[in-house]
Structure 1
Amino acid sequence: MGRKPLYFLIVGVFLAYYVYLPLPEDFEEPWKIIQLNAYIKTIIHLAEFVELLGLNNFVDSLTIFLGPSEVPPTSDENITVTETTFNHIPVRVYVPKRKSEALRRGVFYIHGGGWCHGSAASKQQDLLSRWTADRLDAVVISVSYRLAPKYHFPVQFEDAYNSLKWFLRKEVLAKYGVNPERIGVSGSSSGANLAAAVAQQLLDDPDVKIKLKTQSLIYPVLQALDVDTPSYREHSHFPLLFKSVMVRHWSEYFTTDRSLEKAMLSHQHVPVESSHLFKFVNWSSLLPERFIKGHVYNNPTYGKSELSKKYPGFLDVRAAPLLADDKKLRGLPRTHVITCEYDVLRDDGIMYVTRLQNAGVPVTHNHIEDGFHGSFLLLKFKISSRMINQYISWLSEYL
């Protein structure tokens, strides 16, 4: 074989690896996601290469390569946008300009990004908050919690929780004209993880007299015990969230020590003394049959207790809300869960739906058959508009 055919072969293999993506025939806007997938894979491999050279942490490189997307807190003709702090945690506040005869609803929103990326100032989060405030005639609080790998659990949880507690003070609600009986918490991905966790924590806090009316969880990540659910198996290489990247972000949430990541990938991170927790994430009993699709549940394997003693966060209900017992779940407010079919986190959300329903909590579950992780805020995709409309419509009806 001459050099030119060899070069063409190498380039062809390279392009096929980055561009080829098997999609269902009826998948909407396939070329957009194929292009986005190639871009994300390139970014991930660059970040891995930089880390291999010892130059930077993987998740820090991802943040750099994805580029800045923050926008200033600019008011427009409909919404007044300000930045302040709630209990020393930065937040953006979105207040409709039109006059209101009654107190407004309040939405406390927590952004996603694997506990490592993003802020309330990112362009997508800012637009979502504006649209929510305008269409609901609601006050929206969007929080910027501290991020890994510089900060580890429970810092992210505590930032979200402490800023929400500050918002729920009577004098703060009065300042922004918020009805204390119409407040909801929401978030996407890791933000939904934090939203679920703070909603649970509020139930046991004697200092909080005002209760949440709703919680909205968009493709939530809810447990780190079992990363071998059917959705993890089926969609481990589907954009925009690969299994390896999700596990890495879980690990970074707790430590920069990669021994936890390796143990999670080999399913040997849970010690035998914590075996009772698996009943809360046993997908063989918590998933409807159509999501099991013939998958066989593997009995848990156990690791050494040293790892859980060093990094107990992955066994903490504040990090993994699916580990809450049934008694805790019974006190939760009306819940909205959005899951996507092509998402490793699909089964986390569905298991939570099942457990909440079994506990008697009113739940609305919207499953997006052609959805994938990240599609909620991919504003150039048609699916994003549909999902945001579902989200705001539910809040309009129940908040």
Structure 2
Amino acid sequence: VRSGTFALVLLGALMAYYVYLPLPEDIEQRWKLMLTDCAFRSLSHLSLGLKDYMGVMMLVTFAERVVPQSDERVRVEDERFDGVEVVVYQPRRDVCAGERRRAVIYLHGGGWCLGSTRMGPYDSLAREMVTELNAVVVSVEYRLAPAHRFPVPFEDAYRAAKYFLSADVLGSYDVDPERVAVSGDSAGGNLAAVVVQQVGVKPRIKPKAQALIYPVLQALDLNTPSYRQNRHMPILPRTLMVRFWSEYLSSDKSVLLSMLANAHNGPDSAPFLRFANWSVFLHESHRRTYDYVAPPVNEGELPGALARSVTDPRASPLLVPDAALRPLPKAYVLTCEYDVLRDDGMMYVERLRLAGVHVTHQHYPAGFHGALMFTVWPTDFRIARQMVNDYLLWLKQNL
């Protein structure tokens, strides 16, 4: 009996050691986040042919896939906009005489390498936007890296948005051309920011609003205070975010090591470093005790694709000059304290405000990256529900 009791105690201790992560005290439902992260790590340890955390996330993407179906309130259709696959969600109820609907072009997250509009959480979010806002939602199924590296995901997002933002197409969906938003989360927030910048280049119907949810916005400095503070945080540790960047921008395997060391900038980066200078654009409370050191500029040869793309504003929208920011529509930017991408979003908020753009900055002091996706049991988090409610309220009031 004693040996059995000892074995149970030992097993319990080992399980607690495996599950436990030293997460910040102010994160609500800390143990649920620990268990969620533990589940991901456990999958990576099973003999499923997966060698890393990114492989686990790919498995989760497939596990979360659903087949979006029409129901009594929402009509769902698979379409192609200028050759780009999209899922269109529309309200079932007829438009009243003289009434036209809002619309949201939505771009999913996943580090440009993972994710799908057909994942359950995105399908659920699209349906909520339809019913709460009486909106048409265009969810874009852009092609993914590494099979389709930069600029392909951006080009897909841009083509789909440009196609939808035409008078004829908007009219066919009973959409008011003055009530269209572009939105996305994480890498989708990156694509949404770039699409909004690019569609404003030539005269055409322009979005009224942009809503960016913990967006990734720059690749020059991968050692900002939030990258340092949250380097081991689930759901997006620093190594995974850097891996996403390297897979998105280059096929050269040495790029990952350079980016992990924050030593991936060449001479072309030098003029752009001022746009990602967090000692200027980040509030003192978030600079904390970190000292700013500009990323080193490597005088040696960089892989051609990386040298061209790391400073391309279509990859890093934070790097556009002030003149390109001034004409942009009002913005909603959501950031989380415990997120490597926190400072990207905060710097963009500051730059937009300095350029005269009206910005609503929604910061969650106890938030973590990817929280918006966790709305369904058993990985349902109260903060996720709050994020969705705040996001929908802003769209309702500003679109």
Q: Equivalents in 2 of 1:250, 1:9: separation in Å? A: 43
Give, in angstroms, the shift of residue 304 of structure 1: 4.2
Q: Find the residue that maps to 1:251 and give its secondary structure.
A: helix
* 1:131-210 pair list within 5 angstroms: 131-206=128-203, 209-210=204-205
Aligned sequence identity (%)? 46
Aligned residues: 390
Q: Is the 8 A contact 1:343 1:373 kept in 2?
A: yes
Give, in angstroms, the shift of residue 140 of structure 1: 0.6
Q: Equivalents in 2 of 1:13, 1:279: separation in Å? A: 49
Q: Find the residue that maps to 2:302 and give its secondary structure.
A: helix
For 2:184, give the aligned amino acid: G
Q: Does 1:63 align with 2:58?
A: yes
Q: Find the residue that maps to 1:315 and give its secondary structure.
A: coil
2:327 alignment partner in structure 1: 331
1:269 alignment partner in structure 2: 264
Q: Find the residue that maps to 1:107 and give its secondary structure.
A: strand
Distance 1:8 1:251, change over 3 A: farther
Deviates more, 1:65-74 or 1:156-165: 65-74
Q: Does 1:296 align with 2:271?
A: no
Q: Equivalents in 1 of 2:257, 2:14: separation in Å? A: 28
Please list the CA deviations of residues 194-217 of structure 1 after superposition, one character each: whole Å capped at 9, or x if unmatched: 0001111112134xx101100000
1:55 alignment partner in structure 2: none
Q: Find the residue that maps to 1:306 and give its secondary structure.
A: coil
Q: Find the residue that maps to 1:146 and give its secondary structure.
A: coil
2:113 alignment partner in structure 1: 116
1:85 alignment partner in structure 2: 80
Give, in angstroms, the shift of residue 23 of structure 1: 2.9
Give, in angstroms, the shift of residue 13 of structure 1: 8.4
Give, in angstroms, the shift of residue 389 of structure 1: 0.5
2:315 alignment partner in structure 1: 319
Q: Find the residue that maps to 1:238 and give its secondary structure.
A: coil
Q: Equivalents in 2 of 1:13, 1:266: separation in Å? A: 36
Q: Equivalents in 2 of 1:202, 1:281: separation in Å? A: 23
Distance 1:263 1:24, change over 3 A: closer
Q: Equivalents in 2 of 1:62, 1:250: separation in Å? A: 16
Q: Equivalents in 1 of 2:246, 2:72: separation in Å? A: 43
Give, in angstroms, the shift of residue 12 of structure 1: 7.7
Q: Could you tell me which of 249, 252, 255 is aligned with 1:254?
A: 249
Q: Find the residue that maps to 2:310 and give its secondary structure.
A: helix
Q: Could you tell me which of 217, 227, 248 is aligned with 2:212?
A: 217
Distance 1:341 1:175, change over 3 A: same
* TM-score of the pair, normalised by structure 1: 0.92
1:377 alignment partner in structure 2: 373
Q: Find the residue that maps to 2:170 and give its secondary structure.
A: helix
1:365 alignment partner in structure 2: 361
Give, in angstroms, the shift of residue 47 of structure 1: 9.8
Q: Is the 8 A contact 1:240 1:373 kept in 2?
A: yes
Q: Find the residue that maps to 1:183 and give its secondary structure.
A: strand
Unpaired segments ≥5 residues, structure 1: 53-57
Distance 1:129 1:387, change over 3 A: same
Deviates more, 1:38-47 or 1:170-179: 38-47
Give, in angstroms, the shift of residue 39 of structure 1: 1.8
For 2:394, give the aligned amino acid: W
For 1:254, give the aligned amino acid: L
Q: Does 1:94 align with 2:95?
A: no
Distance 1:126 1:360, change over 3 A: same
Give, in angstroms, the shift of residue 303 of structure 1: 2.0
For 1:333, give the aligned amino acid: P
Give, in angstroms, the shift of residue 45 of structure 1: 5.9
Q: Find the residue that maps to 1:165 and give its secondary structure.
A: helix
Give, in angstroms, the shift of residue 66 of structure 1: 5.2
Q: Equivalents in 1 of 2:358, 2:123: separation in Å? A: 29
Q: Find the residue that maps to 1:298 and give its secondary structure.
A: coil
Distance 1:60 1:147, change over 3 A: farther
For 2:320, give the aligned amino acid: A
For 2:198, give the aligned amino acid: Q
Q: Is the 8 A contact 1:59 1:149 kept in 2?
A: no
Give, in angstroms, the shift of residue 332 of structure 1: 0.6
Q: Equivalents in 2 of 1:46, 1:315: separation in Å? A: 39
Deviates more, 1:221-230 or 1:30-39: 30-39
Q: Is the 8 A contact 1:129 1:140 kept in 2?
A: yes
Q: Equivalents in 2 of 1:50, 1:15: separation in Å? A: 22
Q: Equivalents in 1 of 2:57, 2:8: separation in Å? A: 30
Q: Equivalents in 2 of 1:305, 1:144: separation in Å? A: 38
Q: Does 1:386 align with 2:386?
A: yes
Q: Is the 8 A contact 2:61 2:115 kept in 1?
A: no
Give, in angstroms, the shift of residue 16 of structure 1: 5.4
Q: Does 1:346 align with 2:339?
A: no
Q: Find the residue that maps to 1:307 and give its secondary structure.
A: coil
Q: Is the 8 A contact 1:47 1:62 kept in 2?
A: no
Q: Equivalents in 1 of 2:14, 2:296: separation in Å? A: 37
Distance 1:155 1:273, change over 3 A: closer
Superposed CA RMSD: 2.4
Q: Find the residue that maps to 1:180 and give its secondary structure.
A: strand
Q: Does 1:130 align with 2:127?
A: yes
Unpaired segments ≥5 residues, structure 2: none
